Chain A
């Protein structure tokens, strides 16, 4: 902070500059005094740990940035800790608690939503969910943003009355899009 030279200033400006300087000094002393107290009373005892955590975090980020090319996108094809691989869309089949039909696990939520026939956006959601499910392979890419305004209206046209429980599924699989 460099204050302008006193010589070229009007007395008025000089005065305010002095006041400003005094106030600034006082504020600095306030902060210094406060910090001194905190340090002496040991209220900052976490400082070292916090710095260590920050260092570890920076290190981790650098490491992850380096190896990011080998990437998360393939995570669906990895082997889990038990040595198992799983299909991208869960294939377990069970009966819907609501209508009793056989449903494949990976499609259960959109089915149930329709099946229960409730909710303002039930129809939207079904489209969205199945879109998301189909796009699982390309997860993380922006292409998975759904454009449901179109498909919703298509749905309405093709499916007829909304909220009818599960009529369009004969064998538990969906052919919506």
Chain B
């Protein structure tokens, strides 16, 4: 069982548990199964009788932690379990009555066993209302994973092609900096656009697509009478930026087309980098999605915007009365997270002198993601209609990620709207973000498993693998106020950080990036990140300074 859970280090069972299983096989587990009770929230306990409170066989106490012997079903409290195993030879394994966890009396430790966990989970699944229980295996999960494999191999192909392109351009190169570093002129408060363009230009699978000429603007213009084509304008920027030219480029044509594109948007005045990002991807999808028919086995769009950025969110609403779970899936092209409130405990602040590296009180991206996938009690005003109970019930909603994109864009909600005061304000708090991000804990399989007490059990679509591990490649930061701020992008290319501040591209220390105020974070799957670095590096790092470039102050 546990071999299907690669995220687990296989628990090594203690000698006593191994002995017990050898002698009694699964008999104890199986006879226990019918006494297992599970709350709608997913916690399990052992309940032998409806009316009688379990008491310790030695002291008659009921307030201590109680354990049930797996062999003779006698109950002892934590102080008397050892006594029981001494009086009854071989009665070493017991079950924590309240938590249905195995306990080895001789080791004095909680122990874990895949077969026991399986027993608990199977009972749980039997007890849950039929269908859509949130744990049942779906056919869809299997199909999806096969699809993802194909998608990844497609991207590899792109990358091979673009590698050729890059090495071809290599020979014409004068620069020894990573390819595609070129400043973008500010056209008058257009740093929101420049910042996002820089991130898009260096999103490895997206870049590979355009550099391998899969949307060539000249071919497209000849073929189509429609002169408005956002992917074409992006292709033009790619050509310009990867041309080797070092003078800043003015993305004027792009701005013009984008505005023509977004005239149908309610608000013409877009100043927010995140809104711009969404609108550009929409524009690409609109054009490319039509050209490519969605894949046959599932309705997923095959346009480049969705192939690279689109993931699937899962939302579970669980009835707190019967445990019935209603699950919905929503595609997303980025994940917007709320800033988590730092747990600024007064003691934590008071003890500053004791712990100089006190990190509580800092908001972290991991904290934001925890918050995003945290079960949330729905208010009494939004009670959910439970199909099983056939009435409105208290319920808990929980988000998780069913499928991750190859490029993960995380948007930090820094703009807070106060409906009462009809005002918006910017939350100027620092948010710590890691360079390497493991998204495994936020996947649906992990979230659901955690809901049921992290039992060792193969949950739906349990395909945890390294593709949930990400590396950061771009950070869009915002400084200043809501209306008059400035966007700057930090790009990580061949493990060096570059600051892209409109026309200015400078090298920065990674500390500057770590300390920056992030607004949008762009992560790419680890494997794609390392592949992209191979493609980009054109010269050994030791000779990175171009001798022909005059250094300031020397001329």
Contacts and interface: CB of A to CB of B under 8 A. Distances in A.
B168 interface: no
> Which range contains the number of B residues in contact with the other chain?
35 or more
Contacts of A116: 259-260
A72 B517 CA distance: 13
A40 interface: yes
A65 to B, nearest CB: 8
B512 to A, nearest CB: 6
Given A57-B432, A110-B188, A119-B268, A144 B484 contact: yes
Given A53-B432, A109-B255, A43 B504 contact: no
26 contacts: A33-B101, A37-B110, A55-B357, A57-B433, A60-B512, A61-B514, A75-B501, A81-B177, A82-B177, A86-B248, A86-B503, A86-B504, A90-B187, A90-B502, A105-B187, A106-B188, A109-B188, A112-B252, A120-B268, A129-B188, A129-B189, A130-B188, A132-B188, A140-B486, A144-B480, A146-B483
A64 interface: yes
Given A82-B175, A84-B246, A29 B189 contact: no
B268 A75 contact: no
B511 A59 contact: yes
Contacts of A33: 96, 99, 101, 110
Interface string A130-145: 1011010001101011
Contact of A41 (B11, B177, B441): B11
Contact of B112 (A40, A76, A98, A142): A40
Interface in B210-257: 246-248, 250, 252-253, 255-256
Given A56-B511, A64-B511, 7 more contacts: A43-B454, A59-B511, A61-B430, A63-B515, A97-B253, A109-B187, A145-B483
Is the contact region of chain B dominated by helix, strand, or loop, or is it mixed?
A: loop
Interface residues of A, number: 77
Contacts of B514: 56-57, 60-61
A9 to B, nearest CB: 18
Nearest to A121: B269
A26 B98 contact: yes
Given A41-B456, A80-B183, A132 B189 contact: yes
A57 B98 CA distance: 41
A12 B255 CA distance: 74
Interface string A66-97: 00000010011011111111100110101001
A58 interface: yes
B362 A54 contact: yes
A50 B515 CA distance: 16
Interface stretch (B26-34, B155-163, B324-332, B547-555): B547-555
* Of listed B187, B247, B256, residue having the most chain A CB within 10 A: B187
Nearest to A148: B483
Given A83-B551, A86-B248, A92-B250, A122 B268 contact: yes
B129 interface: no
B57 interface: no
Interface string B453-487: 11010000000000000000000000111011010
Contacts of A75: 501, 504, 506
B269 A120 contact: yes
A144 B191 CA distance: 15
A22 interface: yes
B56 to A, nearest CB: 14
A46 interface: yes
B385 interface: no
B11 A109 contact: no
